[in-house]
Amino acid sequence: MDRPLSLGERFRVRFGADARFYRAPGRVNLIGEHTDYNEGFVLPAAIDFHCLVAANRRPDHRLVVHSEDFHETCEIELSSDSISRSQTWSDYPVGVAVHLQRAGFHLQGTNLLIHGEVPIGAGLSSSAAIEVATAYALLSVSGCSIDRVQVARLCQEAENEFVGARCGVMDQFVSLHGRAGHALILDCRSLDYELLSIPDFVCLVICNTMVKHELASSEYNRRRAECEEAVRRLSEAVPGIRALRDLNPEQLERHRALLPETIWRRAQHVVSENARTLEAAAALRAGDLEEFGKRMAQSHHSLRDVYEVSCPELDLMVQLASGQRGAYGARMTGGGFGGCTINLVDKQHAEKFRRQVAKAYENGTGLKPQIYVCSAADGAGLVTPEMEFKETT
Ligand code: GLA
């Protein structure tokens, strides 16, 4: 039987040239949910699902992007000042090109072939992976140096302004700064971060509920607006606060009367989640997974009952995981209203965990979940010749 063509061969068939390869990972967030846009703390890890991009330079000034996932090609003139969004997948790579140029990078004409392996719509940041892999490829083909913090910010800006999704900076940042075997605690205000080693004997088990509820993006935007309203109202009493990050639990309690009930609950989640994330980071630094797992459980409860972004499928998945042997902690991960849970599980129990949770979830919902046993991966980069064989087939 014929072997399938590698990504490089498919690139040659489509563009008649040799390519270089770049990759950027998706992510899972261990704790620190809905805190990034409040300038707080997050603790994500890059995962070993990537977006791969093959790229070469064109003689003209056009950007030609083909998506293998959507079987479509999009073409733009890079020097045009009227590039508008199409509300399709191509807004991600095109938005990145627009924002890189706006930031002063002189991009060369480029062909891109995009192959995404991060599950789409599962809350594992397939969009950040496409943005970051595209940015990396465009800058590299154009001979520009790569400042990872700046690239993270520009990709977030492209998603906020060109695509029109008001995400925080977590996904793009960890896709660029992740390290194999490590999670990363990030201060979303200063963008200072520290890599924290994940003990060898545990793996990251990601359980995909296979549901994505309609209201995910409208509710995400509503939560952001509610957090902003909390800051506006509290700034009368607490001078100098810029974001919920600036409040501690005592201050919030003291000024409770200034906030309507729902707004207070939103602020309560964010303030407590920031504290929990720092405590979880301390536990991981100390290698105390029991403590880390407790913080994960508290985070899930707060997201479910106080921030109200969970859903019955996520709650069931967390509940099923919590009783399993070798499981330290479980919680929903990402924006919520569907998508995935993250579980810290002893490697030796991971396979049994996977089977039992899958079976019980299917019995409970009639849905067959996908369960990925992952480890923390490196951030975006050029795919070296040794990696090429593995990654481009
Ligand atoms: C989505 C966004 C992130 C973050 C999470 C919630 O994944 O893309 O920036 O806000 O939701 O923690």
- pLDDT digit string (tens) for 77-124? 999 989 999 999 999 999 999 999 999 999 999 999 999 999 998 999
Q: Which CATH superfamily is domain 202-374 in?
A: GHMP kinase, C-terminal domain (3.30.70.890)
* pLDDT band of 389, cuts 50, 70, 90: very low
Q: Where in the chain is the domain with CATH 3.30.230.10?
A: 7-198+377-383
Q: What is the pLDDT of residue 121?
A: 87
Ligand 1 atom with the smallest distance to the CA of 165 is: 8
C-alpha of residue 38 to centroid of ligand 1, in Å: 11
Q: What is the pLDDT of residue 216?
A: 84
Sign of CA dihedral 250, 252, 255, 256: negative
Q: What is the pLDDT of residue 1?
A: 62
- Work out whether strand 110-116 and strand 193-197 pair parallel, antiparallel, or are unpaired: unpaired
Residue 171 bears catalytic tag: yes
Helices (DSSP H) in the chain: which residue ranges? 7-15, 91-102, 126-141, 148-157, 170-177, 216-234, 249-254, 261-285, 289-305, 312-322, 347-365, 385-392
Q: What is the pLDDT of residue 214?
A: 80
What's the rounded Cα separation, in Å, for the pair 364 and 360? 6
Strand partners, 41: 187
C-alpha of residue 6 to centroid of ligand 1, in Å: 33
Choice among 2, 81, 91, 171 that is catalytic? 171
* pLDDT band of 61, cuts 50, 70, 90: very high
Ligand 1 atom with the smallest distance to the CA of 159 is: 8
Crossing angle of helices 170-177/126-141, nearest 10°?
Answer: 60
Contact yes or no for 11/52 (Cβ under 8 A) = no
Contact yes or no for 358/316 (Cβ under 8 A) = no
Look at the chain and count its residues. Answer: 393
Q: Where in the chain is the domain with CATH 3.30.70.890?
A: 202-374
What's the rounded Cα separation, in Å, for the pair 365 and 382? 42
CATH architecture of 7-198+377-383: 2-Layer Sandwich (3.30)
Predicted confidence (pLDDT) per residue in 311-327, tens digit: 999 999 999 999 899 99
**pTM score, whole prediction:** 0.96
